[in-house]
Chain A
Amino acid sequence: MANYNIDAEKDLTYDAIVIGSGISGGWAAKELCEKGLKTLVLERGRIVEHIKDYTTAYLDPWDMEYRGAMTPEQKKIHPIGERVGFVGETNQHFYANDLENPYTEVKPFLWVRAHQMGGRSLLWGKQTYRWSDLDFEANAKDGHGVDWPIRYKDIEDWYTYVEKFAGISGDPIGLPQLPDSHFLPPMELNCVEKHVKERLESNFKGRNLIIGRCAHLTEAINGRGKCQFRNRCDRGCPYGAYFSSNSSTLPAAHATGNLTIRPFSIVQSIEYDEAKGKASGVRIIDAETSEEIIYRAKVIFCNASAMSTTQILLNSTSNRFPEGLGNDSGELGHNLMDHTYRIGATGLVDGFEDQYYSGRRPNGIYIPRYVNLKDGPQSDKFVRGFGFQGGGYRQGWGQGTNMEDFGADFKDKIMNPGQWEFFITGFAECLPYHSNRVFLNKEVTDKWGQPTLSVDAEWGENEYALNKQIRSDAKEMLETAGLRDVLDFDNKHEMGYGIHEMGTARMGKDPKTSVLNGTNQVHACKNVFVTDGACMTSSSCVNPSLTYMALTARAADHAVNELNKLNL
């Protein structure tokens, strides 16, 4: 699919350039192409064709010589993936080579990258939740960071718009703090999850346990097939059942005839035209030949992922912008956020020995935020809040590892379903601290001689207070729900582990304190848009990708309107 621009001599000028092809870049490409703009997508990695390049999608453990284990050579190029624990033989080809793409951790920070067409949209967790005014008003209310320039009403219709295309399954329950999406049918809770839900909701007024809302199709839509419940999503889905750029937005963009994708294109900087007072194009380095090329366009969308987009902007210096494109405020690179997670509790559930489940559901349960709501219990220990993900399941053969047993009867026993377990793990909002930042590091250069990024960020007191509450609430909820041997935990991970990097080029009302305006345009360079995680002004406690989608579609609409009015 798509035209691939592999001939540097031709087609140097487009209507629009999109930097990056992940979740937000794919949306930018789709919207701009559908509105008639000849659009060039610059992707720093290789092409990944939907289905054809999902080379491990059908492999069973025994089809792989080491049954999913990686070789030392594979592990060596994925030290970050190894630290985060999600990389293995079946998906390692979708994780960036960390050795070729170094960054400097001033304080420990995990930066998981995926350098190929589709980016991390191939690997994401697919949990999709709308934000509410509880989130958009949060900064204004408690004074952390700057106020969002938008409110829920500004984005509500755009949520609906992207949901109808992406396909979000879930159960509408009308919570003001977690607005319902335009839903496909929800996935099912299993017996133990239903049991815990009943106990939890009857014991804790104002708390709900719901099936996760996720970007998996429970009905076929838009030419994509429904989920087959194989739970092998991170290998790429041959049915196109989960939302990725590869399965969804890029094919739609291609169908317009307006899309060109140029792989192996490392964006070095955005070119600024001092005379016209706007950006004129994008300078790339060909990752394979190291050739430098400048592409021109009327409008540029930055969707390289939060920190990479900011790296490009910081590296885009000119007389007008000596500290990086759009950095009049000095906020570019600052206010980096993530979500805390891996704090929670897990316990054993007695009974239900005669019940099991079938299918491998790529989804779990969700407990929406219940503290510091507009109406409801307020904490005097922290601002903002948290939600929980989790699930119930029966142990399989792995239970045998810990059993003080072995031999014939043991073997028979662990071939049958084991103990039911149920766990929850919190995701907490992180405040936008000016001191949490990324900056260019010219001492350390990458394979192509370009400055790299340094990350200097850590959790603050508010996050630690949230984590403490998560842990004690998790234990209390599971014990009250009747679970036994409840083990509460805090894995004390560094920032970045949530893989929800947000901020570093925030939206705001005031150009003196923010980088982007209310329609994601760089305040002082309005034909440059940033609609990936970099634009976020606060972090909410819910997963951010759906909001990136909605903001991108909204910004693309604005871009085309402004182009038509000759304002850009």
Chain B
Amino acid sequence: MNRREALKKTGLLGGVAAGAPGLLSLLQSCSQQSRSGWVPQFLSEKQAQFISAFVDTILPKTDTPGALDVKTDMFIDLVYAKTLTSEAQEGVKAELDKFDSDCESKYGKSFADLSNEEKRDCLMTHEKETAKFNRGVWGTTVGEQEPVAFYRNLKSMALWGYFSSEEIGKNVLNYDPIPGQYRGCVPVEEIGKIWTL
């Protein structure tokens, strides 16, 4: 249904804007290197390492490309750099650092340095503790929305960056820019994966 079609909202803004600055506890990690050749526009090197490890854990490479293959981490950096107000950017920086410092408190290492098992354990803890988005109608959530923590906003950005990429859109999902007709009941097996658009 399209009443002046609502844009696909990422959930990005709500959580970011609400992000409480502060709680900066920076523990330096020297063991990680940024992805070769990437100079982040917004993220610090340590934050970039975190984002790369985060999106890779959410959407790893399998027989289909992973988030790193389609540069989801770089896209998130770009979106933070170019589409947020400076106030919102401050909030994001604080949230990123808090996420990693919480990780260091619990595991003794920053997220990027954890074993795969520890990474999964860390994210699953956030999954269970973080409120979910209410269902949406025409692009906006309905009902009383509990505040959604940074983790779920970042996860939604990872999904957005991954699924809006050309590689996934054109070569993995079902891409049909000009369908020409609408068919209301079609067996799934005729179509397969979800539509790109």
- Residue numbers of A with Cβ under 8 A of B are 58, 60-62, 65-72, 85-88, 90, 123-125, 127, 187-191, 193-194, 212, 228-234, 342, 344, 346, 353-365, 389-391, 393-394, 396-398, 400-402, 404-408, 410-412, 414-418, 421, 423, 425, 487-489, 491, 499
Contacts and interface: CB of A to CB of B under 8 A. Distances in A.
Contacts of A62: 164-166, 169
B185 A190 contact: yes
Contacts of A404: 124, 127-128
A487 B172 contact: no
Given A71-B82, A191-B184, A363-B2, A401 B155 contact: yes
B195 A396 contact: yes
Contacts of B82: 65-66, 71
B186 A356 contact: yes
A238 to B, nearest CB: 10
Interface in B121-141: 123-124, 127-128, 132-135, 137-140
Interface of B: 1-12, 57-60, 62, 64, 66, 75, 78-79, 82-85, 120, 123-124, 127-128, 132-135, 137-140, 142-143, 152, 155-156, 159-161, 163-166, 169, 172-173, 176-195, 197
B140 A72 contact: no
Contact of B160 (A67, A190, A358): A67
A253 B180 CA distance: 29
B157 to A, nearest CB: 9
B57 A487 contact: no
Contacts of B189: 354
Given A66-B78, A404-B127, A489-B142, A86 B177 contact: no
A363 B1 contact: yes
A401 B133 contact: yes
B85 A72 contact: yes
B156 to A, nearest CB: 4
A67 B169 CA distance: 12
Contact of B83 (A69, A394, A412, A416): A69
B8 A423 contact: no
A425 B137 contact: yes
Contacts of A390: 1
Contacts of B137: 342, 344, 346, 423, 425, 489
B185 A357 contact: yes
Contact of B184 (A193, A228, A423): A193
Contacts of B164: 61-62, 67-68
A360 B179 contact: yes
Given A72-B84, A415-B172, A358 B183 contact: yes
Contacts of B3: 125, 127, 364, 389
Contacts of A365: 1
B182 A357 contact: yes
Contacts of B197: 60, 230, 360
Contact of B169 (A61, A190, A411): A61
A402 B133 contact: yes
Contact of A391 (B1, B155, B165, B173): B1
Nearest to B175: A60
A72 B6 CA distance: 19
B166 A188 contact: no
Contacts of B135: 346, 421, 423, 487
Contacts of B75: 67
Contact of B187 (A356, A396, A491): A356
11 contacts: A67-B161, A68-B164, A69-B10, A354-B189, A357-B186, A359-B181, A359-B182, A390-B1, A401-B152, A489-B137, A489-B142
A423 B127 CA distance: 27
Interface centre among A68, A70, A187 (most CB of B within 10 A): A68
A72 B179 contact: no
A488 B142 CA distance: 8
B74 to A, nearest CB: 12
A487 B145 CA distance: 12
A236 to B, nearest CB: 13
Given A356-B188, A389-B1, A401 B6 contact: no
A524 B130 CA distance: 64
Contacts of B59: 406, 410-411
Contact of A85 (B139, B160, B165, B183): B139
Given A391-B1, A425-B137, A402 B60 contact: no
A53 B21 CA distance: 43
Most B CB contacts (10 A, CB to CB) among A67, A68, A127, A414 go to A67
Contacts of A356: 186-188, 190-191
B140 A357 contact: no
Contact of B58 (A359, A407, A489): A407
A397 B85 contact: no
Contacts of A361: 2, 182, 184
Nearest to B144: A489
